[in-house]
Structure 1
Amino acid sequence: MNDRIDPSWTSVCELADIVPDTGVCALVNGEQVAVFHVAEGGGSVFAIGNFDPGSQAAVLSRGLIGSLGERVVVASPIYKHHFDLRTGECLEMPEHSVRAYAARVAGGKVWIAA
């Protein structure tokens, strides 16, 4: 894949640049996006907005990854609210949900849908 061929996807980093079960922050079309490499189940990548509405800080990429039931979540490092990495839903306060972005790995790179 090449971002010149498909401009709706942006390459943000190499998958190897993200330590498994952690996140990084990337700038995609002027928006801070929290990108997570989840090692469980053979490895997956997820992307949600980085801004935590509860704490009013751009910190979600630094949260702790885990699971609640069937949901893969990140806990905000400030108030510990859990955000579903597939949907962006805030489990404790749904009104504080964030945007979820499509994410994939191709050619060893992490791509985020713009």
Structure 2
Amino acid sequence: MNNDRLPRSWTAICPLNDIVPNTGVCALVNGEQVAVFHVNSHDADPAVYAIENFDPGSQAAVLSRGLIGSLGERIVVASPIYKHHFDLRTGECLESPSYSVGSFATRVENGHVWVAV
């Protein structure tokens, strides 16, 4: 099934300035925990990413509290428990693809973060 053809329901999360750069927050969207990250690099405009907050490796909802970094060209978050790295664009777990999580479309509009679930 092509997800580009599915209607998206956009949900306002918070003002972008409420998320400290290079950290994440957890938001409850349609009953699902979503980890939302504000990534600010020195040579690019700030970006916002969203993935599922549940870490399959540790069986805990902790990804929003992980450390943001990069591995090669990938922007990742390291789970705070077992340190698995999740690609913020795709949700892929680099160490164990079977632990990959869902990713969500994001946008910043009028200074507010929106997530499509």
* TM > 0.5 fold call: yes
Matched, 1:71 2:77: no
> In structure 2, how many angstroms separate the alpha carbons of the residues matched to 1:73 and 1:102?
16
Letter in 2 for 1:89: E
- What is the TM-score when the length of structure 1 is the normalising length? 0.93
2:25: which partner in 1? Answer: 24
2:86: which partner in 1? Answer: 83
- Which residues in structure 2 correspond to 1:1-114 (within 5 Å)? 8-40=9-41, 41-114=44-117
SS in 2 for 1:79: coil
Give 1:87 shift: 0.1
> In structure 2, how many angstroms separate the alpha carbons of the residues matched to 1:79 and 1:104?
30
SS in 2 for 1:35: strand
Q: CA RMSD in A?
A: 1.2
> In structure 1, how many angstroms separate the alpha carbons of the residues matched to 2:80 and 2:58?
9
Give 1:35 shift: 0.1
Q: Give 4+ residue runs of structure 1 displaced > 4 Å after superposition.
A: none
5+ residue gaps in structure 2?
1-6
Give 1:90 shift: 0.2
> In structure 1, how many angstroms separate the alpha carbons of the residues matched to 2:9 and 2:27?
16
5+ residue gaps in structure 1?
1-5
> Percent identity, aligned pairs only?
74
